[in-house]
Amino acid sequence: MKYALGLDPNLPTSAVPQGVVKTYGSDQYLGFTFGRDPAKTDVIYEAQVADSPAGPWTTIASSAGGAVTSGEGFVGESAGPGGTVNVEVHDTVPMSSAGRRFIRLQVTR
């Protein structure tokens, strides 16, 4: 995870994506923003959601091989520090329709 997010593996950190509730249109959704390094073509980033921490988890946005993120939950990308890209995603189920929702970033290398 630290490799994918460009964090120092020798230092402890709390700089991992944290879920937040934001308004898009007229509804509120659970989402987060994470840093993606397009130069790391050996990494797959997947934003996933579920009704329970045990899953099943559904991928709502992904990026593989350094490509631009895409998917139903993809909001947008903007320039980040040091050549990285800030990726914003949100759940596809509004908070008003969900009993409870969980969101995570899964990284595969």
Structure tokens at 102: 């969980």
- 2-108: CATH topology is Immunoglobulin-like (2.60.40)
Query: Which amino acid appears at position 89 of this protein?
Result: V
What gap in Å lies between CA 61 and CA 92, rounded to an integer? Answer: 10
Task: List, for residues 62-108, the tens digit of each pLDDT value.
Answer: 999 999 999 999 999 999 888 889 999 999 999 999 789 999 999 99
Considering Cα of 14, then 104, then 50, then 20, what sign does the dihedral take? positive
Backbone angles phi, psi at 11, to 5 degrees: -120, 140
Per-residue confidence (pLDDT) for residue 81, from 0 to 100: 86
Task: List, for residues 52-73, the tens digit of each pLDDT value.
Answer: 999 999 999 999 999 999 999 9
pTM: 0.89
What gap in Å lies between CA 4 and CA 103, rounded to an integer? Answer: 18
